[in-house]
């Protein structure tokens, strides 16, 4: 038992005081100390003992007595002990100030501490321990620079002052200069190897901070060897173990934490780490207990933040988001700077997301991102929120960065793909495909939805085969495979086939479609539709409906298939089935409205569209558009136009279109509608601008089919007399949208040619139209008119050939025959012409035919004359030729004769020569034969030359003709414009002369929305 | 079973070609291909090189149909002017000119024995049957407006009844099928001059139809609804529907042995269909515009492989080897 002996004054006796049994009241001790005038160091000893036993009041009482002015006076020569007492008090208040959280109290404590140290300094300015105390006070106040100065003063004086060394080490450590701190700790240890274990702790902490975990742990372990109960060392060593990732060591680390907890249940660090451990074991009550204990035990902000974080995390996993949010927020509230501990911000963001507070979540995540701009998870979270807020561009930036940071993050690719779907099919597809590849590479299951999305995007990009593959992969094997690949023949009946499927099921064939695959199967059916494999599409839709009768879209598609085959009643039936399943199905209602328009059920259609608007609170673009169209039809439909009614309907239509545009600025159909209304009012230039813009937009969009705008533009050009452009529009429209099968557009085209007075083109276009729409007799009437026009125009030309006149007569006869045939058709009014009209045209043609006879005679006469002239010329030419030939012949004859004569002479000469030779008696005959051959040559040569002449003249004349004919046709071409201008003028006169001027004036609006017949002759 | 392109004659006519038929071979010459165009001419083509044998004029307005007599000596052509011109294939001498006003003349077909010529009468709602010896109008078979009016179709608003577009004889010559604008197909017993029944399934114009050469009751119809139907004309049953064309199916013909059909469409393609698989097995894309007619050359020409011809609005003729 440790005892302290107080020497009794002036005796050799001592009062023995057992330290374990100090009197409860310090006054007792003080009385003895004062009475016996005990040395001051004893005062300090007792005070320290009280302090150790936690009796702070007694501790203070003794020290304050010990530093009172009387003591100063009495013990004035005992410098060191007086300083020691003052320094102890200084240290005490320094510590109080250090742990105090309230700034005012904190400052007061520090002031008192400063006062004590100053007093100590006054006793001896050079006392090192005072300086050390002052240094520690500065460290506590956070004034590290000054502290460093102070410790330096000490160390300058006493290089081996351990306390100053430790103080300086502390300053360096807190300044983040761990290397320097380490050096100082080492030095302190060298000087004072028996120093308390905690010095080695400093060593360990430095090492740990320097990342030298092995050495750090050695240091901690050494501390523990010296002092098995050193909690900090246990915790330090434990943390290193826990962070090692080695399972055994984690276990060991945990044991150390537990040991620390056993020794000192108030060590927050240990508590937090234990809590963390139990968190991962899902033992949430333990987490709660431990963190609460930790919170109670510490004032250290970081540790508190950590504790709150643990607690929040625990609630977070238990999906108690409100509580989680509260504790995450508590955690962040402890922190001065998010930099110190970022995790609660991330957690808070997550919880806010769960709670649907997008804004708060974004704020939290953005804080994280400020510090960790490359953190993939946070980038994704922020991207996700931005996407949700509709800030797509920004969202995409974040996802792009996330995928750059971690190109293997499947989620990031997926979400990026989804963001891109609405704007950029190709990029979206790329994203999805990257995700797909990543999943496959890591041999993970590819989600059905991803495959479906890939399929849909391929579909949108018109890459049907790739789409099919994706769907196939998503669907796997099933009855659908047999249908889709044509292994099972497809039945034809459109609706009632439950029997078929039931019989298949009776045979034990499974027709089950898992719920998650229904949409994919539907998409596959859509794909077959796109490939025009309607049989397969239809059977798949029906299969879906057999198993999932609530899948209304399948009814609608079947309805659309029936409608495409003009089976309106079946189509209506199917749409009604969809409505039976859900009478608020806006899409089904829209389809029904359209069908009602098609069957001329105007009032019903209007009601249907209005009911859609009721369901959607007046905010359905489609229904509004349909009603706009409805009003437009109503305005232009009537046989007899009532101008006032027409105007109101048009106005209504425009209002509705405008409303749609107000809701959706890029709605092409509404824009087109407005263009139509404006055109109807004669504002062609404005409507043309609108149509042109819509056309540009529609051309750039694969998903939009808008033939109307092409037609409308054509109408505008036609109305403005730009026939070439109008023709181009109509032709493009026919080709692009109708496979050249739409006779209505051909009719517009014919009208164009008619207006341009291109009768033959007009006729040919109309013939094609008749071929496409054989039962449309109006077209025949129009053809007859075109032929009549052609003939009239030809016959009234000032200059025409007999052939032209003959053709005109021929066409007139055809026209007459057509008029005659049409006269035999029943129900003429239905077709748009009547007996009177036919008779009139027939009469006119006959009249013209009669007139044509004269023309024909005149033309034929002219032709005859021309022919005669030509004949004369030809004969003249022939005679000349004959003469030339005769001349030539004669010349040749002469030539021949001359040559013959020459030859003869030659021969004679030769004979003579022969004779002479013979006479000369030379030996060979060779010369003679040679000469004989020579003699032949002159005969041949001219012949050859003649042939050559012939050959060379032929190309010449060809060349001339060749040159001539282009020149001729050039003339023709040059002629054409002037001639046609002349023709035009003359024709107008002809028309005004003609009695059916009124007949011929094309009437009716040129602007048609859809399916409004506009016959050239429709008046 | 497939077709190989042999030859494409671009610019075979001055305008779109609307009709094609094979004239069977005679003792003096092989089979010829007859084509008719909106350019108002009929042309005859010989051999695999499709050399133009002759150009017949005489029609006004576009030529909509050509038909050859099974004997191979005479043929008929008709145009939008509603005249049927019967002519000697080898001499082009006009045999006769037929008309039955106010009836128009659309598609035509000689019966397999060559005794009769059936002409689709368009708006007269009837088929006109001409005797090929006397060239007298033998019969007029009318397609009634609607059988008891309960076929569920939208009433024909123009009140014309069934506008008749196409005709087809069964191989035994007993039955005649005719197709109409509203999709109804009527089957007649020609001997009795009576309508047997109508076939349902199409609701759009059926522009072409043909009986199987292998079965007197199997009928194929080509419709604007993009489908080809295969009917049992006796039981009225719709046996199969072929889909795949992207636009109107304008023409159908059955291969001589009856195992395949070929179709031409507004989608510019010619498709070959395997009747056993009931599937499209080949799509030919030689043409650049609507394919108005396809025609298999009749078998029995002593040649090893068959021929298929197609004609189009692109003014060209395509010839294929069918194996």
Q: 3-state secondary structure string, B148-207?
A: CCCCCCCCCCCCCCCCEEEEEECCCCCEEEEEECCCCEEEEECCCCEEEEEECCCCCCEE
| Spatial contact of A782 and A832, defined as CB atoms under 8 Å apart | no
Q: Which two tokens stand for residue A520?
A: 């994919």
Q: Which two tokens stand for residue A874?
A: 């030809």
A1003 pLDDT band, cuts 50/70/90, is very low
Which of B38, B204, B242 has the CB atom closest to A565's CB atom? B204
- Asked if residue A234 belongs to a domain, the reply is no
Interface residues on A facing B, Cβ-Cβ cutoff 8 A = 486, 489-490, 492, 531-536, 564-569, 599, 738-741, 764, 767-768, 770-771, 774-775, 777, 780, 783, 810, 814, 817-818, 820-821, 824-827, 830-831
Segment A227-256 mean pLDDT: 78
B274: chain A residues, CB-CB within 8 Å: none
Which of A489, A741, A820 has the CB atom closest to B278's CB atom? A489
Contact A740 B246 (CB under 8 A): no
Return the pLDDT at A496.
Answer: 58
A1 pLDDT band, cuts 50/70/90, is low
Q: pLDDT per residue over A401-443, tens digit each?
A: 888 888 888 888 888 888 888 788 888 888 888 888 888 888 8
Global pTM?
0.68
Q: Are residues A796 and A873 in the same domain?
A: yes
Query: Whose structure tokens read 């545009």?
Result: A661
Greater model confidence, A276 or A190:
A190
User: Nearest Cα to A693, choosing from A712, A715, A721, A719?
Assistant: A712
Poorest-pLDDT segment among A530-534, A728-732, B190-194: A530-534
Instruction: Please report, for chain A, how many H helices and E strands are present, in that order.
Output: 48, 2
CB contact, 8 Å: B156 with chain A? no
Number of domains in chain A: 3
- Asked if residue B311 belongs to a domain, the reply is yes
- Asked if residue B154 belongs to a domain, the reply is no
Residues 289-318 of B with CB under 8 A from A: 289-290, 313
Q: Is the pLDDT score of A193 beyond 70?
A: yes
Which chain B residue lies closest to A528 (C-alpha atoms)? B244
Number of domains in chain B: 1
Q: Which two tokens stand for residue A605?
A: 């259609």
How many residues can be counted in chain B?
A: 323
Segment A198-221 mean pLDDT: 81
Segment A931-944 mean pLDDT: 39
Greater model confidence, A417 or A976:
A417
Q: Are residues A862 and A806 in the same domain?
A: yes
| Spatial contact of A730 and A748, defined as CB atoms under 8 Å apart | yes
Q: Is the pLDDT score of A1000 beyond 60?
A: no
Greater model confidence, A682 or A930:
A682
Top residue of B103, B199, B243 to mutate, by most chain A CBs within 10 Å, is: B243
Q: Which two tokens stand for residue A564?
A: 């495409």
Q: Are residues A799 and A874 in the same domain?
A: yes
CA distance A23 to A8: 18
Which of A486, A567, A827 has the CB atom closest to B203's CB atom? A567
CB contact, 8 Å: B32 with chain A? no
Distance from CA of B244 to the nearest CA of A (A): 5
For chain A, the average pLDDT equals 79
Which chain B residue lies closest to A598 (C-alpha atoms)? B154
The residue out of A879, A896, A927 marking a domain boundary is A879
Which of B16, B157, B244 has the CB atom closest to A533's CB atom? B244
Q: Are residues A866 and A909 in the same domain?
A: no
Q: Are residues A843 and A909 in the same domain?
A: no
- Asked if residue A292 belongs to a domain, the reply is no
Report chain B's terminal Cα–Cα distance, integer Å: 5
Greater model confidence, A566 or B86:
B86
> E strands of A403-458, at which residues?
none
| Spatial contact of B305 and B279, defined as CB atoms under 8 Å apart | no
Poorest-pLDDT segment among A111-115, A295-299, A610-614: A295-299
B238: chain A residues, CB-CB within 8 Å: 492
A935 pLDDT band, cuts 50/70/90, is very low
| Spatial contact of B126 and B102, defined as CB atoms under 8 Å apart | no
CB contact, 8 Å: B281 with chain A? no
Q: Are residues A796 and A858 in the same domain?
A: yes
Return the pLDDT at B209.
Answer: 96
Q: Which two tokens stand for residue A800?
A: 């025409």
Q: Which two tokens stand for residue A371?
A: 């510090």
Which stretch, A175-179, A241-245, A506-510, A682-686, has highest mean pLDDT?
A682-686
B167: chain A residues, CB-CB within 8 Å: none
User: Nearest Cα to A204, choosing from A223, A179, A187?
Assistant: A223
CA distance A291 to A314: 10
- Asked if residue A584 belongs to a domain, the reply is no
Nearby residues of A420 by Cβ (< 8 Å), 6 or more positions away: A396, A427, A428, A431
- Asked if residue A840 belongs to a domain, the reply is yes
Poorest-pLDDT segment among A11-20, A142-151, A518-527, B252-261: A11-20
Which of B60, B183, B238 has the CB atom closest to A814's CB atom? B60
> Could you tell me which residues are beta bridge partners of residue B116?
B131
CA distance A754 to A93: 110
Q: Is the pLDDT score of A641 beyond 80?
A: no
Which of A492, A569, A821 has the CB atom closest to B240's CB atom? A492
How would you write the pLDDT of chain B (323 residues) with one tens digit per residue? 899 999 999 999 999 999 999 999 988 888 899 999 999 999 999 988 899 999 999 898 899 999 999 999 999 999 998 999 999 999 999 999 999 888 889 999 999 999 999 999 988 889 999 999 999 999 999 988 764 444 444 444 444 468 999 999 999 999 999 999 999 999 999 999 999 999 999 999 999 999 999 999 999 999 999 999 999 999 999 998 999 999 999 999 999 999 999 999 999 999 999 999 888 999 999 999 999 999 999 886 555 578 999 999 999 999 999 98
Which stretch, A13-27, A524-538, A606-620, has highest mean pLDDT?
A524-538
- Asked if residue B155 belongs to a domain, the reply is no
Contact A565 B157 (CB under 8 A): no
Q: Within 10 Å of residue B289's Cβ, how many Cβ atoms? A: 17
Contact B203 A489 (CB under 8 A): no
Q: Within 10 Å of residue B174's Cβ, how many Cβ atoms? A: 15
B311: chain A residues, CB-CB within 8 Å: none
Burial class of residue A863 (count of CB atoms within 10 Å of its CB; 0-12, 13-18, 19+): middle
Contact A770 B60 (CB under 8 A): no
Q: Which two tokens stand for residue A784?
A: 């007859």
Q: Would the ipTM clear 0.90, i.e. be above it? A: yes
Q: Are residues A612 and A648 in the same domain?
A: yes
Q: pLDDT per residue over A315-336, tens digit each?
A: 888 888 888 888 888 888 887 7
How many residues can be counted in chain A?
A: 1019
Q: How wide is the angle at C-alpha A880 spanned by C-alphas A878 and A882, nearest 5°?
A: 65
> Could you tell me which residues are beta bridge partners of residue B45?
B33, B52
Q: Which stretches of A664-799 are DSSP H helices?
A: 668-680, 684-699, 707-719, 723-738, 743-755, 759-772, 777-795
CA distance A725 to A710: 11
A824: chain B residues, CB-CB within 8 Å: 101-102
| Spatial contact of A488 and A501, defined as CB atoms under 8 Å apart | no
Greater model confidence, A772 or A130:
A772
The residue out of A646, A665, A684 marking a domain boundary is A665
Q: Is the pLDDT score of A976 beyond 50?
A: no
Residues 180-219 of B with CB under 8 A from A: 181, 183, 201-205
Q: pLDDT per residue over A475-504, tens digit each?
A: 888 888 888 887 776 655 555 567 778 888
Return the pLDDT at A918.
Answer: 63
- Asked if residue A836 belongs to a domain, the reply is yes
Contact A767 B290 (CB under 8 A): no
Helix (H, G, I), strand (E, B), or coil: what is residue A649? Answer: helix
Residues 229-258 of B with CB under 8 A from A: 238, 240-248
- The verdict on whether omega for the bond into residue B102 sits within 30 degrees of 0, i.e. cis, is yes
Torsion of Cα atoms, B203 then B205 then B208 then B212, to 10°: 10
Segment A839-855 mean pLDDT: 84
Segment A945-952 mean pLDDT: 38
| Spatial contact of B291 and B309, defined as CB atoms under 8 Å apart | no
Q: Is the pLDDT score of A966 beyond 80?
A: no
Query: Whose structure tokens read 């120093």?
Result: A195
Top residue of B37, B123, B204, B206 to mutate, by most chain A CBs within 10 Å, is: B123
Nearby residues of A726 by Cβ (< 8 Å), 6 or more positions away: A714, A715, A717, A718, A748, A752
In chain A, pLDDT over 90 holds for what percent of residues?
Answer: 6
Domain residues for A832? 776-879
- Asked if residue A571 belongs to a domain, the reply is no
Q: Are residues A834 and A874 in the same domain?
A: yes
Q: Is the pLDDT score of A839 beyond 90?
A: no
| Spatial contact of A267 and A260, defined as CB atoms under 8 Å apart | yes
Which stretch, A83-97, A130-144, B223-237, has highest mean pLDDT?
B223-237
Q: Are residues A804 and A874 in the same domain?
A: yes
- Asked if residue B215 belongs to a domain, the reply is yes
Return the HEC string of A481-547. Answer: HHHHCCCCCCCCCCCCCHHHHHHHHHCCCCCCCCHHHHHHHHHHHHHHHHCCCHHHHHHHHHHHHHH
Which of A534, A774, A826 has the CB atom closest to B122's CB atom? A774
Q: Is the pLDDT score of A924 beyond 50?
A: no
CATH assignment at residue B166? 2.130.10.10
Q: Are residues A838 and A875 in the same domain?
A: yes
* H or E segment and range at residue B17: strand B17-23
Q: pLDDT per residue over A154-169, tens digit each?
A: 888 888 888 888 888 8
CA distance B105 to B78: 7
Which of A486, A740, A818 has the CB atom closest to B279's CB atom? A486
Distance from CA of A590 to the nearest CA of B (A): 21
Distance from CA of B236 to the nearest CA of A (A): 14
Q: Are residues A854 and A788 in the same domain?
A: yes
The residue out of A615, A650, A665 marking a domain boundary is A665
- Asked if residue B132 belongs to a domain, the reply is yes
Contact B248 A739 (CB under 8 A): yes
Return the pLDDT at B93.
Answer: 93
Return the pLDDT at B18.
Answer: 97
Q: Is the pLDDT score of A556 beyond 70?
A: yes
A825: chain B residues, CB-CB within 8 Å: 102, 123
Q: Which stretches of A602-665 are DSSP H helices?
A: 602-615, 621-637, 643-663
Distance from CA of A574 to the nearest CA of B (A): 15
Which of A566, A738, A831 has the CB atom closest to B203's CB atom? A566
Domain residues for B48? 3-145+160-322
- Asked if residue A490 belongs to a domain, the reply is no
Q: Is the pLDDT score of A712 beyond 70?
A: yes
> Could you tell me which residues are beta bridge partners of residue B262?
B253, B272
Top residue of A774, A806, A825 to mutate, by most chain B CBs within 10 Å, is: A774
> Could you tell me which residues are beta bridge partners of residue A17?
A4
CA distance A304 to A327: 11
Contact B123 A569 (CB under 8 A): no
User: Nearest Cα to A773, choosing from B270, B76, B248, B17?
Assistant: B248
CB contact, 8 Å: B150 with chain A? no
Q: Are residues A794 and A874 in the same domain?
A: yes
- Asked if residue B114 belongs to a domain, the reply is yes
Query: Whose structure tokens read 């049992």?
Result: B232
Segment A101-118 mean pLDDT: 84
């Amino acid at each position: 038992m440790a005892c302290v002996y107080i020497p009794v004054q002036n005796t050799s006796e001592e009062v023995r005081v057992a330290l374990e049994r100090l009197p409860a009241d310090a006054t007792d001790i003080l009385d003895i100390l004062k009475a016996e005038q005990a040395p001051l160091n004893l005062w300090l000893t007792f005070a320290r003992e009280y302090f150790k036993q936690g009796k702070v009041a007694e501790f203070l009482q003794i020290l304050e007595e010990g530093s009172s002015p009387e003591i100063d006076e009495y013990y004035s020569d005992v410098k060191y002990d007086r300083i020691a007492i003052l320094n102890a008090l200084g240290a005490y208040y320094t510590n109080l100030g250090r742990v105090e959280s309230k700034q005012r109290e904190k400052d007061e404590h520090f002031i008192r501490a400063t006062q004590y140290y100053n007093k100590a300094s006054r006793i001896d300015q050079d006392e090192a321990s005072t300086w050390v105390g002052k240094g520690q006070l500065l460290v506590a106040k956070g004034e590290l620079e000054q502290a460093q100065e102070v410790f330096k003063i000490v160390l300058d004086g006493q290089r081996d002052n351990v306390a100053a060394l430790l103080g300086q080490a502390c300053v360096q450590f807190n300044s983040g200069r761990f290397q320097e701190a380490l050096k100082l700790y080492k030095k302190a240890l060298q000087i004072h190897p028996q120093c308390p274990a905690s010095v080695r702790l400093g060593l360990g902490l430095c090492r740990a901070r320097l990342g030298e975990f092995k050495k750090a742990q050695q240091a901690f372990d050494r501390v523990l060897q010296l002092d098995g109960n050193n909690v900090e060392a246990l915790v330090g060593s434990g943390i290193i173990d826990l962070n090692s990732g080695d399972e055994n060591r984690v276990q060991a680390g945990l044991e150390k934490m537990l040991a620390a907890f056993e020794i000192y249940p108030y060590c927050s660090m240990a508590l937090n780490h234990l809590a963390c451990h139990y968190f991962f074991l899902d033992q949430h009550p333990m987490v709660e207990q431990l963190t609460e204990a930790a919170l109670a035990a510490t004032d250290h902000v970081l540790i508190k933040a950590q504790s709150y974080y643990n607690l929040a995390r625990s609630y977070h996993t238990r999906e108690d988001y409100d509580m989680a949010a509260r504790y995450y927020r508590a955690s962040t509230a402890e922190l001065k700077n998010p930099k110190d501990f970022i995790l609660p911000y991330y957690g808070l963001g997550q919880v806010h997301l769960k709670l649907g507070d997008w804004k708060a979540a974004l704020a939290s995540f953005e804080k994280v991102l400020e510090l960790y701009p490359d953190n993939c998870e946070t980038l994704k979270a922020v991207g996700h929120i931005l996407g949700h807020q509709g800030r797509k561009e920004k969202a995409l930036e974040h996802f792009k960065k996330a995928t750059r940071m971690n190109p293997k993050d499947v989620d990031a690719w997926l979400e990026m793909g989804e963001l891109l779907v609405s704007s950029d099919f190709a990029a979206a597809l790329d994203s999805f495909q990257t995700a797909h590849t990543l999943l496959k590479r890591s041999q993970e299951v590819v989600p059905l939805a991803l495959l479906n999305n890939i399929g849909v995007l391929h579909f949108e990009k018109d890459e049907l085969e790739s789409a099919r593959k994706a769907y196939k992969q998503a669907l796997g094997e099933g009855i659908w495979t047999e249908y889709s690949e044509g292994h099972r023949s497809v039945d034809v009946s459109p609706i009632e086939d439950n029997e078929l499927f039931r019989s298949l099921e009776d045979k034990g064939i499974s027709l089950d479609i898992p719920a998650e695959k229904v949409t994919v199967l539907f998409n596959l059916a859509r794909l077959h539709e796109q490939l025009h494999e309607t049989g397969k599409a239809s059977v798949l839709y029906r299969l879906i409906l057999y198993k999932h009768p609530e899948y209304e879209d399948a009814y609608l598609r079947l309805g659309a298939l029936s409608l495409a085959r003009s089976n309106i009643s079946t189509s209506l039936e199917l749409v009604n089935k969809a409505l039976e399943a859900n009478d608020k199905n806006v899409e089904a209602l829209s389809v029904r409205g359209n069908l009602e328009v098609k069957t001329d059920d105007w009032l019903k259609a209007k009601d249907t569209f209005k009911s859609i608007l009721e369901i959607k609170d007046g905010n359905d673009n489609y229904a509004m558009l349909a009603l706009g169209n409805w009003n437009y039809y109503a305005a232009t439909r009537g046989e007899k136009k009532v101008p006032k009614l027409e105007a109101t309907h048009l106005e209504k239509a425009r209002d509705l279109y405008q409303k749609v545009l107000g809701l959706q600025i890029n709605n092409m159909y509404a824009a087109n509608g407005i263009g139509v209304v404006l055109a109807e009012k004669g504002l062609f230039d404005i409507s043309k601008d609108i149509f042109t813009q819509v056309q540009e937009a529609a051309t750039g969009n694969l998903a939009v089919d808008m033939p109307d705008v092409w037609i409308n533009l054509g109408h505008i050009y036609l109305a403005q007399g730009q026939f070439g452009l109008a023709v181009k529009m109509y032709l493009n429209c026919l080709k692009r949208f109708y496979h050249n099968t739409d006779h209505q557009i051909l009719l517009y085209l014919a009208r164009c040619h008619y207006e341009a007075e291109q009768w033959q083109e007009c006729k040919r276009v109309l013939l094609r139209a008749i071929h496409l729409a054989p039962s449309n007799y109006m077209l025949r009437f129009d053809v007859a008119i075109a032929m009549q026009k052609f003939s009239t125009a030809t016959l009234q030309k000032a200059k025409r050939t007999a052939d032209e006149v003959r053709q005109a007569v021929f066409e007139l006869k055809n026209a007459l025959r057509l008029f005659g045939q049409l006269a035999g058709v029943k129900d003429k009014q239905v077709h748009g012409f009547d007996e009177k009209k036919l008779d009139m045209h027939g009469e006119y043609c006959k009249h013209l035919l009669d007139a044509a006879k004269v023309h024909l005679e005149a033309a034929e006469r002219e032709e005859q004359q021309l022919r005669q002239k030509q004949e004369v010329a030809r004969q003249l030419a022939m005679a000349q030729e004959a003469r030339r030939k005769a001349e030539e012949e004669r010349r040749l004859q002469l030539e021949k004769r001359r040559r013959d004569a020459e030859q003869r002479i030659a021969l004679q000469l030769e004979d003579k020569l022969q004779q002479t030779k013979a006479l000369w008696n030379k030996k060979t005959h060779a010369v003679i034969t040679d000469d004989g051959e020579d003699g032949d040559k002159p005969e041949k040569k001219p012949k050859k030359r003649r042939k050559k002449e012939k050959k060379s003249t032929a190309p010449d004349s060809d060349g001339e003709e060749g040159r001539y004919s282009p020149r001729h046709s050039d003339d023709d071409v040059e002629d054409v414009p002037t001639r046609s201008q002349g023709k035009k003028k003359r024709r107008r006169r002809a028309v005004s002369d003609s009695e059916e001027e009124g007949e011929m004036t094309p009437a009716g609006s040129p602007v048609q929305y859809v399916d409004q017949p506009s016959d050239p002759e429709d008046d | 079973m497939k077709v190989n392109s042999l030859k494409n004659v671009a610019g075979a006519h001055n305008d779109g070609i609307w009709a094609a038929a094979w004239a069977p071979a005679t003792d003096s010459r092989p089979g010829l291909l007859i084509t008719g165009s909106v350019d108002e001419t009929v042309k005859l083509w010989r051999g695999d090189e499709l050399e133009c044998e002759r150009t017949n004029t005489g029609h006004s307005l576009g030529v909509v149909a050509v038909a050859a007599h099974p004997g191979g000596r005479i043929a008929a052509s008709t145009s939008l002017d509603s005249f049927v011109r019967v002519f000697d294939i080898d001499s082009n001498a006009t045999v006769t000119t037929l008309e039955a006003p106010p009836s128009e003349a659309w598609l035509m077909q000689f019966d397999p024995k060559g005794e009769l010529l059936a002409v689709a009468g368009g708006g007269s709602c009837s088929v006109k049957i001409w005797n090929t010896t006397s060239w007298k109008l033998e019969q007029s078979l009318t397609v009634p407006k609607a059988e008891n009016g309960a076929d569920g179709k939208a009433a024909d608003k123009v009140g014309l009844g069934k506008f008749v577009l196409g005709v087809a004889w069964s191989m035994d010559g007993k039955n005649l099928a005719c197709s109409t604008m509203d999709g109804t197909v009527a089957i007649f017993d020609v001997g009795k001059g009576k309508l047997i029944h109508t076939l349902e399934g199409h609701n759009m114009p059926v522009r072409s139809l043909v009986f199987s050469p292998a079965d007197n009751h199997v009928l194929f119809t080509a419709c604007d609804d993009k489908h080809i139907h295969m009917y049992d004309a006796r039981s009225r049953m719709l046996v199969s529907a072929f889909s795949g064309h992207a636009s109107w199916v304008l023409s159908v013909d059955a291969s001589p042995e009856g195992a395949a059909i070929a179709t031409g469409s507004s989608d510019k393609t010619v498709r070959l269909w395997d009747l056993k698989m009931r599937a499209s097995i080949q799509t030919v894309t030689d043409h650049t515009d609507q394919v108005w007619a396809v025609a298999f050359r009749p078998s029995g020409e002593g040649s090893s492989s068959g021929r298929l011809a197609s004609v189009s609005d692109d003014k060209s003729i395509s010839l294929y080897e069918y194996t």
